[in-house]
Structure 1
Amino acid sequence: MAYKDLHHFIKALEETGELDVIHEEVSSELEITEIADRVSKAHGNALLFKNVKNSKYPVLINAMGSYKRMSMGLGAKQLDDIGAEIANYLDLSNYLSIKKLIKSIPRMFRLLHVFPIKSKFRGSCQQVIERDVNLDTLPVLKCWPEDAGRFITLPLIFTKDRYSKQQNVGMYRMQILDQTTTGMHWHKHKDGSEIFKGYAADNTRMPVSVALGCDPAITYAATAPMPKMIDEMMLAGWLRKSNVKMVKCITNDIYVPSSAEIVLEGYVDPSEDLVLEGPFGDHTGYYSLADYYPKFHVTCITHRKNAIYPATIVGKPPMEDCYMAKATERLFLPVLRMQMPELVDLNLPLEGVFHNCAIVSIRNKYPGCARKVMSSIWGMGQMMYTKLIVVVDETIDVQNLKEVRDAVLSNVQGRESLILSEGPLDALDHSSDKALYGSRLGVDCTVTNKVKDNKVTNTYQILTINKDRPYKGIDTAVEFLNHNSDKFVIVVDDDVDKNDLSTVMWKVFNNIDAKRDITVIDNKIGIDATKKWREEGLTRDWPNDIKMSDEIKKMVDERWDSYGIGENN
């Protein structure tokens, strides 16, 4: 079903028992984060905080933080149902006969919903117009103790190309700098940054508007890896089965969804100096380092009379953004299959925080098929950031990590199964020696005709060390491989519980540069997933793990019963 707005979705969550309403007063500084993080890790409900200190706006968080709620938000029972619908559109055999064309008519009619409708009237997001801007009235979260300040974490940032006049929407965090300005954190690889360059070329102010609190299909569409020339609101309309109604902003010529809860209107001036933004506890589970970004000036705030402020927190998985990433995995799998006929299925494990690991199964029809698929993935849009690609045969269920593990242990044959590729990395990757560029690893786990090495056992070991000198991690791996027959050894810092395999793999996906941190000895593979030192080749600081302060943890412990989470409220 299509949700008219965020209120409509909240009502659906409440009716299905997917929402906890908290009436107790809470603070937007760290307290909401600690509560939401606990609930997210426990696979709990969406949370609506009705009484946020020093703000009139309720806060909704974790609204799409489960497979069920993510599917609900996109109008489906499960995400694969949407993927199957997309596959039907892409299947040319559906249009090769009159009978099949007739059967496709309902599917074609759905395409009428993709085109956004520009209204001549004001929308519900403009019921209240505030030209005297004060961002401090919004319950913007300070998410983690080492954050540089308060961050808007679920913004839909609408921009317009300087020349084509085509609109784009993306989701980039925004640090509150003062009552009227924020940072605009668009990475070098993002469309927002590319559009900004067009305005900077002739030193023209860039209009920007930020919508907060749209229905889940619109919010998801802002995160989807769409080509720049396709308006994300078209995807939102198709998902909603209802055209997105857009209204012109009050102080600029950007159009935003009429049903948004809150809209921040303003501009970015390319002639201004960049501002220092960050650090910020990011979706990798680490603090992204401070850097310089453009400043966004807010000239007007509009909102509904009963507006709700949407937020999300990111950090060590599982978190709400993981499920948004899984939606992208399932929705765009048919597109990947169309471009790679060998591809059977794809899993972006939560521990891989979207861009750090992809597990794919293939029809292994010819020699080098796995390598061909790896190269295709690395050459495809945002998939170019994938640090680790694990390829298994079609008989392996990539969603079953035990099956994947067994395939890795059984079929990997030392160096011959490893493919190194250097190329662009996500701006949030911290493990490579240089920013934005480093090594990517492909692991061919398909069945081969190689003779098993009887000196190597299909087993693995995880070692923890107190790293007190450079290269101790890789040296420990080498020493172990020289004296043991296990096929793999993984070395992590001693603050990691080696029995917590989810955390161990999260460290592996985040902390290695394959060229630097993997060693192969006699067909046995060592992986150094420890924190790296400057003396090991790094040209920048290594970020801290995201952790909540003991003070906030204790306070939330003491107040937990008063929140009423899990009760009928």
Structure 2
Amino acid sequence: MAYKDLQEFLRLLDKKGELRRIAAPLDPYLEIAEVTDRVSKAVGPALFFENPKGSRFPVVTNAFGSFPRMNLALESEDLDALGRRIDDVLEMEKPEGLIDKLKMLPKLAKMAGIFPKTVQSAPCQDVVLTGDAVDLSILPVLTTWPGDAGPFITFPVVITKDPETGKRNVGMYRMQVFDKTTTGMHWHRHKGCAAHYRLAEKRGKRLEVAVAIGPDPACTYAATAPLPDDIDEFLFAGFLRQKAVELVQCKTVDLQVPANSQFVLEGYVEPGERRREGPFGDHTGYYSLADDYPVFHVTAITHRKDAVYPATLVGQPPMEDTYMGKATERLFLPLIKKQLPEITDMSLPVEGVFHNFCFVSIDKRYPGQTRKIMYAIWGLGQMMFTKFIVVVDAEVNVQNTAEVWWRVGNNVDPRRDVVIVDGPLDALDHSAPMACFGGKMGIDATKKGPEEGHTRGWPDALAMDPATKARIDAVWGELGL
């Protein structure tokens, strides 16, 4: 059953003991972040700050900050189950006979109910502020690290339309609050909204933007998902929640937003206008460098009467985004396997903050296959940002980081098994000599044979024989261990 709104999700967390309410007044400037950081590192509960200083709106953090809560957010027993649902859709074939057609009806009926639909009124527009009433300071926007350039909106669902086709894009990009009516718009050049902005700039036109803060969990997650350009994020959210996302028309811009959002910021970015944004304590665990980004001008703020302000804190892992990133890994693995069927599993370890390391196990069948996999992964959408790819054999558990590095240490000859290439990097990678471009490494940690120039023997990894293990299993309870 899809969550009606963020409030319903929070009530469920409360019921399950996954939420703690904090009545003590704490400052959105660093204090709320420090509490959240300590709790996140301990894989603690979601936090509901009832009395943030300077605002009447409560703040919720760490709502997705564990695997159980991530599963609850996406209404699945586990993340792999969601991946299997995607796989089921990919496996749907044209029915041949009457029986096949009848078997397809339940799946088709479910799919029919997930397309976004428009409603005429919405809770997110209980209160409408325009003109001189627009004031971003009513929001308890957090400053999360002492070196941050200011307060940043960290969970914004940012919506734009292609100026040529009208196709919608939804993404998540941090927004530094400059003053009562303007923020930065930190969209990287590779992202969909940035592409819309470039098209608008070429025409000399402003680009309308809407920002939804705190829709239901599926919508928030969908804004982070690395979807193909032709897949609508709100359609994907509907697939995840198995119910259509309700959208309402904005008051001052020609865009639609999730009707159940807590807050909506409406406005535009002007062509050619830039302002220095950052630094910002980012998910890499370092401050991302200050740079010039477009400026978002707010023409309206709308919100629910009972609005709650959701925020996320990012930094050295593990943090809340750890679990959102792992959800993406499991959900999109079936899509990758469709293109590269020899892949058996993949891990984006949290230590690599999801774009620095990719561990992949394959069913290896021929020489050069590992390099084919490396190059193919670097050509898959946002996987192009991956800095290090490690390829291992199918029996290796890539979810066990220690096991992967053990295989690397034993199976890799650096001269033969390491590939270094140049390519796109994440804009937050400060190690690259140039912004967004630099070196990447592929490491082949699979077994090698004569066809790959390895004429020596290759030993088996140590393992006890099954019969001995079975005998010890049978008497284990008697050993007092």
- Is 1:73 paired with 2:108? no
User: Which is worse superposed, 289-298 or 401-410?
Assistant: 401-410
- Is 1:221 paired with 2:222? yes
Change (3 A) 1:286 1:40: same
Displacement of 1:397 in angstroms is 1.2
Conserved? CA contact 1:88–1:94, under 8 Å: no
For residues 231-267 of structure 1, the C-alpha deviation after alignment (integer angstroms, 9 at most, x for no partner) is 1000000111110000000111110000000001111
Conserved? CA contact 1:128–1:302, under 8 Å: yes
Q: Determine the structure 1 residue equivalent to 2:205.
A: 204
What is the 5 A alignment of 1:272-283? 273-283=273-283
- Give the distance between the partners of 2:433 and 2:293, measured in 1 at CA: 22
Q: Determine the structure 2 residue equivalent to 1:479.
A: none
For residues 435-475 of structure 1, the C-alpha deviation after alignment (integer angstroms, 9 at most, x for no partner) is 11111111111111236699xxx9xxxxxxxxxxxxxxxxx
What SS does structure 2 have at the residue aligned with 1:274? strand
User: Which is worse superposed, 124-133 or 408-417?
Assistant: 408-417
Q: Determine the structure 2 residue equivalent to 1:470.
A: none
Conserved? CA contact 1:158–1:168, under 8 Å: yes
What is the 5 A alignment of 1:71-470? 71-91=71-91, 99=99, 101-119=101-119, 121-131=120-130, 132-271=133-272, 273-449=273-449, 450=454
Q: Determine the structure 1 residue equivalent to 2:468.
A: none
Unpaired segments ≥5 residues, structure 2: 462-481
- Give the distance between the partners of 1:30 and 1:453, measured in 2 at CA: 58
Unpaired segments ≥5 residues, structure 1: 459-569
Identity %: 51
Aligned residues: 453
- Give the distance between the partners of 1:209 and 1:162, measured in 2 at CA: 15
- Give the distance between the partners of 2:319 and 2:209, measured in 1 at CA: 28
What is the 5 A alignment of 1:477-496? none
For residues 525-552 of structure 1, the C-alpha deviation after alignment (integer angstroms, 9 at most, x for no partner) is xxxxxxxxxxxxxxxxxxxxxxxxxxxx
**AA aligned opposite 1:3:** Y
- Give the distance between the partners of 2:317 and 2:347, measured in 1 at CA: 15
Change (3 A) 1:286 1:95: farther
- Give the distance between the partners of 2:185 and 2:340, measured in 1 at CA: 36
When normalised by structure 2's length, the TM-score is: 0.92
Q: CA RMSD in A?
A: 1.6
- Give the distance between the partners of 2:158 and 2:285, measured in 1 at CA: 24
- Give the distance between the partners of 2:145 and 2:456, measured in 1 at CA: 49
When normalised by structure 1's length, the TM-score is: 0.78
For residues 261-320 of structure 1, the C-alpha deviation after alignment (integer angstroms, 9 at most, x for no partner) is 00011111114x310000000111110000001110111110000100010010000011
Displacement of 1:323 in angstroms is 0.9
Conserved? CA contact 1:94–1:104, under 8 Å: no
- Give the distance between the partners of 1:197 and 1:78, measured in 2 at CA: 39
What SS does structure 2 have at the residue aligned with 1:313? coil
Q: Determine the structure 1 residue equivalent to 2:466.
A: none
Displacement of 1:414 in angstroms is 2.2
- Is 1:63 paired with 2:60? no
Displacement of 1:227 in angstroms is 1.8
Q: Determine the structure 2 residue equivalent to 1:39.
A: 39
Q: Determine the structure 2 residue equivalent to 1:10.
A: 10
Displacement of 1:101 in angstroms is 4.8
What SS does structure 1 have at the residue aligned with 2:334? helix
What SS does structure 2 have at the residue aligned with 1:276? strand
Change (3 A) 1:96 1:398: farther
Q: Which segments of structure 1 move beyond 6 Å, counting only runs of 4 or more?
A: none
Displacement of 1:92 in angstroms is 5.1
